[in-house]
Structure 1
Amino acid sequence: MSKINNVAIVGGTHGNEFSGVYLINKWQQHPQLIARPSLKVETVFANPKAHGENKRYIDADLNRQFSASNLADFSLANYEQSRAKALHQQLGPKSKPNMDLVIDLHNTTSNMGPTLILLEQTPFYKQLAAYVTMQMPEAVVFLDEPEEDMSNHRFLASCGKYGVLIEVGPQPQSVLRQDVLEQMEQMTGHILDFVELYNQQDLPELPKQVEAFLYLDSIKLPLNDKGERLAMVHSNVQDNDYQPINTGDPIFRTFMGEDICYQGEKTVYPAFINEAAYYDNDLAMSLLDKVYLELE
């Protein structure tokens, strides 16, 4: 078992997601709060320019710039593309990362509560998920769409040997909420505690099975031929992240008051419902499958 020595906690990947920004500022002033005996923990402010302008990003979504092909293409040189290359050298490079673990902090406008997003399903990630949910029962485990080659992953967290995202909501863009910030801080602390215990080979007995939600697909708001929106997320779905949607359940309501129902054959579980940041792509929600992680 190789130990986790170097950890980076990243805030402000999206400039208008405030909890991570303010926590990074706090920890930079009080590093003892994130110190653990076996770890070297660094804090990183990923996108200070976007935060300074109170925007999600300046030119492009920073959290979609970390595929190997993008990082190797120096003609991609707008602000976030250039920032990604600098962060990759600091945290990675992916072929031999400087960071054993990257924890990337995010807020969502959706009612997802404290969510732990895992990039892979290896034994380390499964143990981490089991520990966090044991310590924080309200936490939800979200499994990202699997990548055959992690070098192609676009998320910032993929720069490290291991990478996770903490996604907490609901929180409006450019706003702070005490409950959301404290949940983010609490989950970060549990992850650091897990890594310390992991290094010392002193983990408590963990549950053998952990409920999780596996990303399947994202669906868009209904549009007409001109790309104009025809409907909105149905009130039955709104704020009900991780609650089941069955065949025939209404998921959209047109502006004329008609329901549009889910036509899929299997029960799915939505997340990122009506996420404000995804309106530029007309995305309405992600659809997930409920699965169970089996610990060895």
Structure 2
Amino acid sequence: MSIQQVAIVGGTHGNEITGVHLVQYWQSRPEEVMRGSFATELLFANPQANRVMKRYLDQDLNRQFALEDLNDHALTNYEQSRAKAINHLLGPKEDPRVDFVIDLHTTTANMGLTLVISEDSPLLIGMAFYIKQHMPEAVLFYEPKNRLDDYFLASLGRQNGLLIEVGATPQGLLRADVYDLTRRATLHALDYIDCVNRDDIPELPEQFEAYQFVDIVKLPESSDGRRWGMVHPNVQDQDYQPINPGDPLFVTFDGKDVLFEGARTHYLAFVNEAAYYDRNIGVSLMDKITLKRPR
């Protein structure tokens, strides 16, 4: 399938400003994201949240794009309404105007350059492999979803798009290294689409190591539901490292270790992500897998 319309989105979360500044930069230098075989458009997703430097005003914008929610006109808070407006611009989700969405994010977790893959499509996995071929430090984060049910903004395109997540960086802060990684990964993604459109796909590896999302683990809570602990020092910043049954995972405020109760070894991601404190989430659990390139 030829890709004719690509959207690059920044500021889906108002306090993740790397994407905001990249979108603003490319608005002033559009030639950097132009390619001969398709049109590129730029979108600043959540300006009101960015204005007050908050992740969101009412609800996480990047959880509002499931088809059922987009079609529910009773959902009218700011982010729900903003999602419907973005769906009008890029969609509608059932038959989108835009073919592919690249959504730019940062994280407070020590995840480096992470490419979130939410579909087993040759285009998306080929793109991730192409980026990793050029940027070996990239980590492939695999979490497949049905596009119409997927609530991420990147699912608005004709097929599930690419979410680029780079960290660690504090909320509301610009770091040159994070900006550079995001910029280069995005440009490689655009180059790959251009190669596909020109039927000039470069030789790629057949498979890469990846991490598949399994579950989340909440921070310790007291009997009355208050947070009662934090990520253990042995775990802090250890994204994509193994956690074994019986390893310390959290530590309570009175100094007691909380051990990992899983039945087998997993790998960690989004370790102590500040944005997830609203749901009291401490870490995500992943399985290490071999991701193969579909034909």
Alignment match, 2:216 = 218
Alignment match, 1:37 = 36
Alignment match, 2:51 = 52
**Equivalent residue letter for 1:52:** R
Partner Cα distance (2:149, 2:140) in 1: 22
**Equivalent residue letter for 1:194:** Y
Q: What is the Cα deviation at residue 294 of structure 1?
A: 1.4
Kindly provide the CA deviation profile for residues 214-250 of structure 1, in whole angstroms up to 9, marking residues without a partner as x.
1111110010121112221011111010011111111
Partner Cα distance (1:183, 1:126) in 2: 19
1:129–1:210 Cα contact (<8 Å) kept = no
Kindly provide the CA deviation profile for residues 174-227 of structure 1, in whole angstroms up to 9, marking residues without a partner as x.
111110011000100110111111111112210011111111111100101211
Whether 2:153 is the aligned partner of 1:160: answer no
Please identify runs of 4+ aligned residues in structure 1 that moved more than 4 A: none
Q: CA RMSD in A?
A: 1.0
Alignment match, 2:84 = 85
Segment of structure 1 superposing worse, 9-18 or 262-271? 262-271
1:11–1:45 Cα contact (<8 Å) kept = yes
Name the TM-score, length of structure 1 as normaliser.
0.97
Q: What is the Cα deviation at residue 36 of structure 1?
A: 0.9
What SS is found at the alignment partner of 1:216? strand
What SS is found at the alignment partner of 2:148? helix
1:63–1:156 Cα contact (<8 Å) kept = yes
* Structure 2 residue runs without a partner (length 5+): none
Q: What is the Cα deviation at residue 160 of structure 1?
A: 0.4
**Number of matched pairs:** 293
Q: State which of 228, 231, 255 in structure 1 corresponds to 2:229.
A: 231
Q: What is the Cα deviation at residue 85 of structure 1?
A: 0.3
**Equivalent residue letter for 2:81:** S
What SS is found at the alignment partner of 2:109? coil
* Structure 1 residue runs without a partner (length 5+): none
Partner Cα distance (2:97, 2:223) in 1: 48
Partner Cα distance (2:292, 2:85) in 1: 37
Q: State which of 191, 194, 199 in structure 2 corresponds to 1:193.
A: 191
**Equivalent residue letter for 1:200:** R
**What percentage of aligned pairs have identical amino acids?**
52
Q: What is the Cα deviation at residue 47 of structure 1?
A: 0.4
Partner Cα distance (2:260, 2:206) in 1: 34
Q: What is the Cα deviation at residue 122 of structure 1?
A: 2.0
Structural mapping, 1:87-126, within 5 Å: 87-126=86-125
